[in-house]
């Protein structure tokens, strides 16, 4: 929190003593103006296929997949799901965060396709950058909350009290407030810069060497540790306890489905951490560490690729919902088949009745066979 306050103070110029070096690609000021120029390495990255072809291609794929899947997920959670269990609340917030993030992708795609030239103004650039970082850490926190909730379901599957639902709402609101406060420094600083030797205006990718302070190392490190490292450790601990609890269960029949769903959730979330969150956060800290202590960083190109890959979580999240919730799977199928909630309930009731009837017939048949066998034996 101290790092966030100091970061805000730096951006507002309240604490001038914090100012030292820059971030992103360091731009050299031209004739004491706000214009900048970059070195040959930065020019190659900003004009090469990595940022003008690969990045927009990834964003297009994420947009095409993520927009409809998260829209359907939010529709299911908002309008098809009657009982708002804690897991449903966390997944609905996660879908909302992904959807708000994906809405900005057309601007990001246009920026890279246009040669990393931002034409949409300073305000939209600040919003885009803030949503970018905010979505990543918002996803991590909601995934952690969902993992903890799944553990408690396995430990205490019967208890689904109103109190737990209230706690889920409180946790969700707290996460949104934390994300808004955590990304506030990004809203308050200038993110665009005109690059004279490329004749483009960048968004977040190039900033003056002396524009921001070494406090940005503390700020981004605080985000990485507080909103990534600790939640990741908590998630791993919860998964270890979850596996131990399942192994300690008495009968194999009782834990078959729970174990399978738990393993599916663990694998999916670990993939998200390994592919989406871990590389970007590690390279982020390394990048600002090199700027603070060596005055230069050559890993920013790796960082923007890692940050791009972190957006893939918006495509993976709907599969998490699918693995975690049977109700979600049923609601998606009914939505795709244009079944109303009432029709789906009738079909479910009919199926349950038929299933119970079959069990009853089997039970009576078994009793009759057993009775006949006993009679024959006595005879």
Considering the domain boundaries, does residue 287 fall inside one? Answer: yes
Considering the domain boundaries, does residue 370 fall inside one? Answer: no
Greater pLDDT, 262 or 238:
238
pLDDT tens digit string along 201-259?
Answer: 999 888 765 554 456 778 888 899 999 999 999 998 988 888 787 776 655 555 566 66
- Mean pLDDT over 101-106 rounds to 92
pLDDT of residue 375: 43
Considering the domain boundaries, does residue 363 fall inside one? Answer: no
Considering the domain boundaries, does residue 297 fall inside one? Answer: yes
- Mean pLDDT over 126-144 rounds to 92
**Lowest-confidence segment of 8-17, 189-198, 233-242, 339-348 by average pLDDT:** 8-17
Report the distance separating Cα 88 and Cα 321, nearest Å: 9
Nearest to 67 by CA among 269, 310, 278, 311: 311
Q: To the nearest whole number, what is the mean pLDDT of the chain?
A: 75
* Domain that includes residue 189, residue range: 23-333
pLDDT tens digit string along 214-225?
Answer: 567 788 888 999
Considering the domain boundaries, does residue 48 fall inside one? Answer: yes
The DSSP bridge pattern shows strands 206-208 and 25-29 to be: parallel
Torsion of CA 182, 186, 187, 188, to 10 degrees: 110
Considering the domain boundaries, does residue 147 fall inside one? Answer: yes
Percent of the chain beyond pLDDT 70? 67
* CATH number, residue 212: 1.20.1070.10
Greater pLDDT, 56 or 3:
56
pLDDT category at 274 given cuts 50, 70, 90 is confident
pLDDT of residue 280: 87
pLDDT category at 333 given cuts 50, 70, 90 is low
pLDDT category at 86 given cuts 50, 70, 90 is confident
- Residue 114, pLDDT > 90, answer yes
User: Other C-beta atoms within 10 Å of 266: how many?
Assistant: 20
- Residue 146, pLDDT > 50, answer yes
Greater pLDDT, 257 or 93:
93
pLDDT of residue 337: 62
Considering the domain boundaries, does residue 341 fall inside one? Answer: no
Greater pLDDT, 279 or 334:
279
When divided into structural domains, the chain yields a total of 1
Considering the domain boundaries, does residue 141 fall inside one? Answer: yes
Report the distance separating Cα 212 and Cα 340, nearest Å: 55
């Amino acid at each position: 929190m101290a790092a966030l306050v100091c970061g805000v103070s730096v951006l507002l110029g309240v604490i001038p003593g914090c100012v030292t070096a820059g971030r992103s690609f360091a731009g050299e000021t031209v004739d004491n103006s706000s214009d900048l120029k970059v070195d040959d390495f930065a020019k190659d990255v900003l004009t090469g296929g990595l940022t003008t072809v690969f990045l927009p291609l990834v964003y297009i794929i994420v947009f095409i997949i993520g927009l409809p899947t998260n829209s359907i997920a939010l529709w299911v959670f908002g309008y098809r799901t009657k009982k708002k269990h804690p897991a449903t609340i966390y997944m609905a917030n996660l879908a909302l965060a992904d959807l708000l993030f994906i809405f900005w992708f057309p601007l990001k795609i246009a920026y890279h396709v246009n040669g990393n030239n931002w034409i949409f103004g300073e305000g939209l650039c600040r919003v885009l950058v803030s949503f970018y970082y905010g979505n990543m850490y918002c996803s991590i926190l909601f995934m952690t909350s969902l993992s903890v909730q799944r553990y408690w379901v396995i430990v205490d599957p019967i208890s689904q009290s109103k109190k737990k639902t209230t706690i889920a709402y409180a946790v969700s609101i707290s996460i949104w407030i934390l994300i808004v406060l955590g990304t506030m420094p990004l809203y308050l600083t200038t993110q665009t810069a005109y690059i004279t030797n490329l004749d483009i205006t960048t968004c977040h990718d190039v900033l003056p060497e002396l524009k921001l302070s070494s406090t940005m190392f503390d700020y981004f490190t605080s985000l990485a540790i507080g909103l990534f490292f600790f939640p990741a450790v908590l998630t791993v601990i919860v998964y270890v306890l979850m596996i131990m609890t399942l192994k300690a269960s008495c009968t194999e029949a009782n834990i078959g489905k729970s174990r399978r769903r738990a393993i599916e959730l663990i694998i999916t979330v670990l993939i998200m951490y390994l592919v989406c969150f871990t590389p970007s956060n590690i390279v982020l800290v390394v990048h600002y560490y090199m700027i603070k202590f060596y005055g230069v960083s050559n890993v920013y190109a790796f960082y923007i690729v890692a940050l791009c890959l972190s957006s893939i979580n918006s495509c993976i999240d709907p599969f998490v919902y699918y693995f975690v919730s049977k109700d979600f799977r049923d609601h998606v199928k009914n939505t795709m088949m244009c079944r109303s909630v009432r029709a789906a309930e009738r079909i479910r009731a009919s199926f349950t009745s038929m299933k119970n009837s079959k069990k009853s017939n089997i039970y009576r048949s078994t009793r009759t066979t057993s009775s006949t066998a006993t009679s024959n034996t006595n005879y």
